[in-house]
């Protein structure tokens, strides 16, 4: 029987988050943060201490960066260049930025993406054929999973950061690839953005001595921040040569839009001619190209070193404080600290409301289905723009919230549903 698509969607289940969407809109989901980008912004008319931006190095509101962005926009507008790189959207400045990334990552070449997400989906798709086997970490980001979903060959998942399981999976994958006449692409992340866990990049790369495979990492959260010079997680873990395909997105430390993939010249040139999300889409506009060149000047300078250190100091202090106060922060190591709290939607909404209205702290809330039912995560993202005062204030607020939670103060289901 024919079933109209719109009718099915309108009458069907809206899903675990969608069922609360109308009440939650503008507050718990799609909140409106206004004012200058940074740790102090306005939410719902009140000034909040903001821990929800991945602007790790604080470049989003950096005066020189803002000046360059404005000057380039005034000169070129938002459109130039028009068309895809392949046909009419290519410039020498795109080439210059690619060279900067290739040199920075110590790879032969690099290719720009106009969006991290699409670029990553397409890279996974373009690199693998039906005879190849993909092996990937179970907590990989949605864009990697979308790329993997498009893969017509075999795909094997290993338990998140579990190297014993990885070895069993890679053995199976290599055997299968051997039977198929294909190869193996291993995919993981540098820093897992939801949990702050570091990917086991060096340990995986070391397995190359035992098994044949190529390693791709999505270092969206590590680029610019991790490693002595900000080259990313592979620099931090001293395994830059072990990563065959290094990918970064600009939405985090670069406080911008776009991304790049870096690797051997032959592979990057192949991607230039085969990456569907770039061949069939408009190229990165000049405002982002020159804006990103400016950001790279700062990232690759003593100021970049100082900003990395500041972000690390803030991260270390807040993680130490949460641990000392008896909070569960999971496997957090890098710049994201998830505060795990037992509870359902009732507790999540009331704690968030208390945090925002009374303590004036804004952080993202993660609930089921992103994480298992019965858990809530309050996600604290440290940046170089935060201060130790912000850290201490937040730790004290969370200690009070913990005491209230334990005293059952957030258990009222009715109050939970009242959202101003």
Ligand X SMILES: Cc1ncc(COP(=O)(O)O)c(C=O)c1O
Determine the Cα–Cα distance for residues 189 and 137; give it in Å rounded to an integer.
8
Question: Cβ(325)–Cβ(402) under 8 Å?
Answer: yes
Residue 131's SS3 state is coil
Residue 41 near ligand X by CB under 6 A: no
Question: Cβ(349)–Cβ(419) under 8 Å?
Answer: yes
Residue 198 near ligand X by CB under 6 A: no
Q: Tell me the window of 27-35, 76-84, 111-119, 369-377 that interacts with ligand X (CB under 6 A).
A: 111-119
Please state the closest distance from residue 35 (CB atom) to ligand X, in A.
Answer: 22
Determine the Cα–Cα distance for residues 385 and 119; give it in Å rounded to an integer.
29
Please state the closest distance from residue 259 (CB atom) to ligand X, in A.
Answer: 5
Residue 201's SS3 state is helix
Residue 141 near ligand X by CB under 6 A: yes
How big is the CA angle at 195 (ends 194 and 199), to the nearest 5 degrees? 105
Site for ligand X in 202-231 (CB under 6 A): 218, 220-221
Tell me how crowded residue 94 is: count the other CB atoms within 10 A of its CB.
Answer: 19
Residue closer to ligand X (CB basis): 217 or 339? 217
Please state the closest distance from residue 152 (CB atom) to ligand X, in A.
Answer: 23
Q: Tell me the window of 28-36, 109-117, 149-157, 325-333 that interacts with ligand X (CB under 6 A).
A: 109-117
Please state the closest distance from residue 43 (CB atom) to ligand X, in A.
Answer: 21
Determine the Cα–Cα distance for residues 66 and 294; give it in Å rounded to an integer.
10
Please state the closest distance from residue 77 (CB atom) to ligand X, in A.
Answer: 22
Question: Cβ(384)–Cβ(57) under 8 Å?
Answer: yes
H runs (alpha helix) in 141-187? 142-149, 163-180
Tell me which of 28, 51, 117, 246 binds ligand X, using CB under 6 A. Answer: 117
Residue closer to ligand X (CB basis): 114 or 349? 114
Please state the closest distance from residue 192 (CB atom) to ligand X, in A.
Answer: 7
Tell me which of 43, 56, 101, 115 binds ligand X, using CB under 6 A. Answer: 115
Name the burial class of residue 44, with classes exposed (0-12), middle (13-18) and buried (19+) by CB atoms within 10 angstroms of its CB: middle
| Of 164, 413, 120, 135, the residue nearest 275 (C-alpha) | 120
CA distances to 32, 65, 76, 296, 350 from 71, rounded to whole Å, are 27, 10, 9, 17, 44
Residue 116 near ligand X by CB under 6 A: yes
Please state the closest distance from residue 400 (CB atom) to ligand X, in A.
Answer: 31
Determine the Cα–Cα distance for residues 46 and 34; give it in Å rounded to an integer.
10
Residue 334 near ligand X by CB under 6 A: no
Residue 193 near ligand X by CB under 6 A: yes
Q: Tell me the window of 88-96, 101-109, 112-120, 226-234 that interacts with ligand X (CB under 6 A).
A: 112-120
C-alpha torsion sign, points 302, 113, 141, 262: negative
Residue 133 near ligand X by CB under 6 A: no
Residue 339 near ligand X by CB under 6 A: no
Tell me which of 154, 189, 236, 390 binds ligand X, using CB under 6 A. Answer: 189
Give the x-and-dash track for 253-292 against ligand X (CB under 6 A). Answer: ------x---------------------------------
The strand pairing partners of 135, in sequence order, are 156, 186
Please state the closest distance from residue 121 (CB atom) to ligand X, in A.
Answer: 9
C-alpha torsion sign, points 139, 240, 91, 253: positive
Please state the closest distance from residue 220 (CB atom) to ligand X, in A.
Answer: 3
Residue 143 near ligand X by CB under 6 A: yes
Please state the closest distance from residue 283 (CB atom) to ligand X, in A.
Answer: 15
Site for ligand X in 368-387 (CB under 6 A): none
Contacts with ligand X by CB under 6 A: the residue count is 14
Q: Annotate 33-67 with DSSP letters as a single string.
A: EESSSSSEEEETTEEEEE-----TTS-TT-HHHHH
Residue 251 near ligand X by CB under 6 A: yes
Residues that bind ligand X in the complex, under the rule CB under 6 A:
115-117, 120, 141, 143, 189, 193, 218, 220-221, 249, 251, 259
């Amino acid at each position: 029987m024919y079933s109209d698509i719109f009718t099915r969607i309108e009458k069907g289940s809206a899903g675990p988050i969608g069922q609360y969407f109308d009440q939650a809109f503008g507050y718990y989901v799609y909140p409106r943060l206004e004012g200058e980008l940074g740790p102090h912004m306005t939410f719902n008319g009140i000034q909040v201490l903001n821990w929800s931006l991945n602007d790790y190095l604080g470049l989003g509101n950096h005066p020189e960066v803002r000046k360059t962005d404005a000057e380039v926009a005034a000169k070129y507008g938002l459109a130039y260049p028009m068309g895809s790189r392949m046909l009419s959207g290519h410039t020498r400045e795109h080439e210059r930025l690619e060279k900067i990334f290739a040199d920075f990552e110590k790879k032969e070449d690099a290719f720009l993406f106009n969006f991290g997400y699409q670029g990553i989906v397409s890279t996974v798709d373009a690199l693998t054929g039906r005879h190849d086997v993909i092996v990937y970490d179970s907590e990989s980001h949605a864009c990697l999973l979308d790329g993997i979903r498009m893969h017509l060959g075999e795909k094997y998942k290993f338990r998140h950061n579990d190297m014993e399981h990885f070895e069993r999976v890679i053995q199976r994958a290599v055997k299968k690839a051997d039977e198929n006449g294909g190869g193996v692409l291993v995919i993981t992340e540098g820093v897992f953005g939801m949990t702050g866990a570091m990917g086991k990049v060096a340990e995986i790369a070391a397995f190359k001595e035992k098994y044949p495979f190529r390693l791709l990492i999505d270092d969206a959260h590590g680029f610019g921040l991790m490693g002595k010079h900000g080259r990313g997680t592979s620099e931090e873990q001293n395994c830059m040569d072990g990563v065959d395909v290094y990918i970064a997105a600009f939405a985090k430390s670069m406080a911008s839009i776009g991304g790049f993939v870096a690797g051997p010249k032959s592979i990057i040139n192949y991607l230039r001619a085969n990456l569907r999300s770039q061949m069939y889409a408009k190229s990165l506009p000049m405002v982002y190209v020159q804006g990103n060149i400016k950001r790279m000047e700062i990232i690759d300078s003593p100021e970049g070193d100082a900003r990395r250190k500041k972000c690390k100091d803030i991260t270390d202090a807040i993680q130490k404080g949460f641990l000392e106060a008896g909070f569960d922060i999971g496997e957090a190591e890098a710049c994201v600290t998830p505060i795990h709290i037992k509870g359902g939607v009732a507790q999540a909404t009331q704690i968030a409301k208390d945090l925002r209205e009374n303590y004036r702290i804004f952080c993202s809330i993660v609930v089921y289905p992103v994480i298992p039912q019965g858990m809530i995560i309050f996600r604290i993202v440290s940046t170089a723009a935060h201060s130790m005062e912000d850290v201490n204030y937040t730790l004290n607020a969370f200690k009070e919230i913990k005491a209230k939670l334990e005293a059952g103060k957030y258990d009222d289901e009715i109050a939970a549903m009242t959202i101003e």
